Amino acid sequence: MVVKLAALFIVVPIIEIVLLLQLGQWIDVLPTIALILTTGIVGASLAKAQGARVLATIKGRLAKGEVPGDDLVDGFLILVAGILLVTPGLLTDVTGISLLVPWTRAVVRRRLKVYFTRQLAEGKWAVAPMNLGGSPFARGDVIDIEPEDDPSKLMKH
């Protein structure tokens, strides 16, 4: 996993630099900079609007007592899109914008579900049950004791 992340942080910037240099040669430097700034600004505002919409949907589903599974994944993908869009570069901008388009995001969501389901089925990930009432105090059990020593006498300087 560390190797994959290291490769990602090395390979993606190299690809971005190559693409920016080629685009700069094709349409010139100032239009390239303007394009990158425009996609970042427009993308960030789209991410904000999409995020607000998904958050409202999540709140509505929770109010009805429903589990907002797909909406939570959408919210995560919109967050990733926002991060990609504020990262300068063509590849990250195109990827970020594609995650903001609902039907493209739905494709990614389905693929993520398949991936995570397969990982769980193959035993590559373990899911441990949460024991929310693990402490005896969480269940309301109280143990009443009498102190043997006065705590103020124990603290001598």
Taking only the tens place, the pLDDT of each residue in 95-106 is: 999 999 999 999
43 within domain boundaries? yes
Q: Encode pLDDT of 33-57 as tens digits.
A: 999 889 888 988 999 999 999 999 9
6 within domain boundaries? no
pLDDT (mean) for 16-32: 94
What is the DSSP secondary structure assignment for residue 120, as one 8-state letter? H
Q: Encode pLDDT of 114-126 as tens digits.
A: 998 898 888 887 7
74 within domain boundaries? yes
Q: With H, G, I as helix, E, B as strand and everything else as coil, classify residue 125.
A: coil
pLDDT at position 137 is 53
The answer, as to whether pTM is greater than 0.75, is no
132 within domain boundaries? no
pLDDT band at 152 (very low <50, low <70, confident <90, very high): low
149 within domain boundaries? no
The answer to whether 68 and 57 are in contact (CB under 8 A) is yes
Number of domains making up the chain: 1
The token duo for 138 is 């969480």
The range of the structural domain enclosing residue 54 comes to 11-123
67 within domain boundaries? yes
130 within domain boundaries? no
56 within domain boundaries? yes
d(CA 113, CA 73): 9
pLDDT at position 140 is 63
